[in-house]
Amino acid sequence: MNITKAIIPLAGLASRFLPLSKVLPKEFFPLADLPMIHYVVSEAKEAGIREIIFVLNPTRKKVLDYFKSSLKVEKILKERKKENILSELKKNEEFFKNISFSYVLQKNPLGDGQAVLQAAKSVKGEAVANIYVDDIFDSRTPAVLQLAKVFKTCQKPVIGLYRLPKEKISHYGSVAVEKIASRLYKIKKIVEKPALKEAPSDLAIVGRYILTPEVFDYLGKAKPGKKGEIYLAEVLNDQMLKEGKVIYGYELEGNWLECGDKLRWLKSNLYLSLKHPKYGSELRDYLKEIK
């Protein structure tokens, strides 16, 4: 079974980015000269994904416009003889033309598990990738494809993992594991933001998953927690793992660029800006000037 569909939840409040996120959805925050959403959809495409299902807030559907052609803009560029810019725009449209985009709505932000569940009907009983927009990967092999290769062999849910210095693990979800092969683990337990001494390992959960139809069954039965929300990690741990279901974890190759808060987003922006093939060299020179 190949993974050809991906869910991208975008209905959250992005409260850590207020007041900017009041007017600009987080998926459009720039990393170098492209928005975050561009990077994750590019990763999905390069991993063989052919259908993207966005989970959107009813008041914010602009993400669909990013991947559509704009005849009005193209006409203006032609009239003003902006051929270089028009060429770049056409190149972008051409790159994404073989992906179909659809969306479902999450009327209230009631947890990422509830968001993913909204896409259940669109998934139609298939295994699917689940991608979070504020986790970007700079890797030779797309992160989603790394997980999809594991799934092709094991046919079970797969969670993306990333090894961190032990002193940082308390800021993330961590996992207790049994090693199966190089970078491949069977997950025994998921612990959200453990105290340093209680961390089960130095492997953190990152925003990449392969979800099977069985996961959607469990999400459909899940009851909201104390905050009235349903979280994917809690359902995987408190229900599936406790009932003996098998879930794998794969330690992803590449650099994990986090964008979950302002500082980490700025660091990721700087990383990609300095690596940019067109602007990177001049930016590095500029940094030397302003030291």
Assess whether pLDDT exceeds 80 at residue 291: no
What is the percent of the chain where pLDDT is above 90?
75
Residue 88: pLDDT above 90?
A: no
Q: What is the pLDDT of residue 59?
A: 85
Which whole number is the average pLDDT over 102-112?
91
Categorize the per-residue pLDDT at 206 as very low, low, confident or very high, splitting at 50, 70 and 90.
very high
Residue 107 has pLDDT above 80, yes or no: yes
Q: Is the per-residue pLDDT at 91 higher than 90?
A: no
Q: Is the pLDDT of residue 71 over 90?
A: no
Q: What's the CATH number of domain 5-289, 3.40.50.150, 3.20.20.140, 3.90.550.10, 3.40.50.300?
A: 3.90.550.10
* Segment 222-250 mean pLDDT: 93
Residue-wise over 250-278: b if at least 16 C-beta within 10 A, else e?
A: bbbeeebbbbbeeeebeebbeebbeeeee
Please tell me the distance from the alpha carbon of residue 70 to that of residue 76, in angstroms, as a whole number.
Answer: 10
Q: Mean pLDDT: which of 13-22, 33-42, 56-65 is highest?
A: 33-42
pTM of the model: 0.93
At 123-144, the pLDDT tens digits run 988 999 999 999 999 999 999 9
Query: What does the chain look like in DSSP terms, one character per residue?
Result: ----EEEEE--S--GGGTTHHHHS-GGG-EETTEEHHHHHHHHHHHTT--EEEEEE-TT--THHHHTS--HHHHHHHHHTT-HHHHHHHHHHHHHHTT-EEEEEE-SS---HHHHHHTTHHHHTT--EEEE-TTEEEE-SS-HHHHHHHHHHHH-S-EEEEEE--GGGGGGSEEEEEEEEETTEEEEEEEEES--GGG-S-SEEEEEEEEE-HHHHHHHHHPPP-TTS---HHHIIIIIIITTT---EEEE--SEEEE-SSHHHHHHHHHHHHHH-TTTHHHHHHHHHHT-
